[in-house]
Amino acid sequence: MAFDSFSAFLTMEGHGPYVWTCYAVFVILLAGTVFWSAKRHQATYRMCKRSYEQQNPKGQTAPKAAATFTRVEISQD
């Protein structure tokens, strides 16, 4: 679909306000979702970091694993 001018493109034969409003709402909701997700990610990261620091105070190393695994060679003689 070709338009004669930029103003014809913006008005879209009377449908322009509806189309551009829909695009604006979509962009605002998309930006809001990105912003909200970033804030939740930061909050979750801080919560996990606080929890880890409470379990492992400064100067202490992380607890060692309770079990060790060794490779077993199976011979088929």
Distance CA 77, CA 69 (A): 25
DSSP 9-31: HHHGGGTHHHHHHHHHHHHHHHH
pTM score of the predicted model: 0.59
Is residue 54 within 8 A of residue 60, CB to CB? The reply is: no
Q: So what's the pLDDT on residue 28?
A: 98
Tens of pLDDT, residue by residue over 36-54, are 999 999 999 999 999 888 8
CA distances from 18 to 58, 68, 71 (A): 58, 65, 67
Residues of the chain with pLDDT under 50: none
Q: So what's the pLDDT on residue 61?
A: 67
